[in-house]
Structures are given as structure tokens and as C-alpha cells.
Amino acid sequence: MENVSNVVKLQSIKSLQSTIHKLENALSKMTQTGANTSLVKKRLRAIYIGLAVLEHFWNQRPNHYPQEDLADARYVITGLFPSIKNSYTKSKDGSPQRTLLERRIKSLELAVQAIDDLFTK
């Protein structure tokens, strides 16, 4: 796991928590309207796992996810990068949206790296 500053750690954890909140809201609204929620549920589970893995490395919290769940989470998280990076390139320099996307990209990259590190243990 790459050595990151406490500021980046805090920003990454907050970013993933924000992403979880956003996905939980989307899931709630989609459930109310009867929309298909399988993709949102997959993404939500992957972000939960990503957050748990970062907290495992940075805050010494136990990791109770089996290898298969970690592999699934890694696959789902890496699948998010193209759309997030596309939104990033469309955002304006210095905008709050760009800052949010930068932090989201960094936190997801760190989560993938942490999952990879668990596989090599």
C-alpha cells in the first residue's frame, strides 16, 4: 500500500463515505419507483468493500471479506473509472465538481491498490 499523507487518507475516506451516501440515496429512490436496482447495489457493495479495505490498512480495522468479494469489488470499482474520468475532463478547472472528482478518483485508486495488496499477502 502506497504511503499517503493523513490529509489524503481523510479525504479518501470522506470521499468514499460520500459516494456511499449518494448510492444509498439513489437506491432508495430507485426502489420507490420500481426501477432495476441491481447495478446500484453492486456498486454500493463494491464501495463499502473499498472503504473497509482502506480502513483495514489505515485504521487497523479487521478485514472480513473473502477473496471472491474483494475480486468482485475490484472489478466493479475499476469499471467506474471511465465514466468518472469522462466527467472529470468535462468539468471546469478549479470548480468544486472537479475537486470532488479528483478526490473520488484518488480514493478509488487507493481502494484498488489496497485490494491488490491484500491479494499479495
From 81, 77, 73, 78, select the one nearest 101 (Cα to Cα): 81
pTM of the model: 0.94
Residue-wise pLDDT for 25-77, tens only, equals: 999 999 999 999 999 999 999 999 999 999 999 999 998 899 999 999 999 99
pLDDT for position 121: 67
CA gap 64, 85 in Å, rounded:
30
Q: 11 is written with which cell numbers?
A: 479525504
Q: Report the pLDDT averaged over residues 20-26.
A: 98
CA distance 113 to 74: 9
Phi, psi for 91 (deg, rounded to 5): -80, 160
Say if residue 99's pLDDT is above 70.
yes
User: Is the pLDDT confidence value at 98 over 90?
Assistant: yes
- pLDDT value of residue 120: 82
Domain parsing of the chain, residue ranges: 6-119
1-5, 42-46, 80-84, 115-119: the lowest-pLDDT one:
1-5
Give, as one character, the DSSP assignment of residue 53.
H
Distance CA 70, CA 11 (A): 22
84 pLDDT tier (thresholds 50, 70, 90): very high
How much of the chain exceeds pLDDT 90, in percent?
92
pLDDT of residue 1: 65
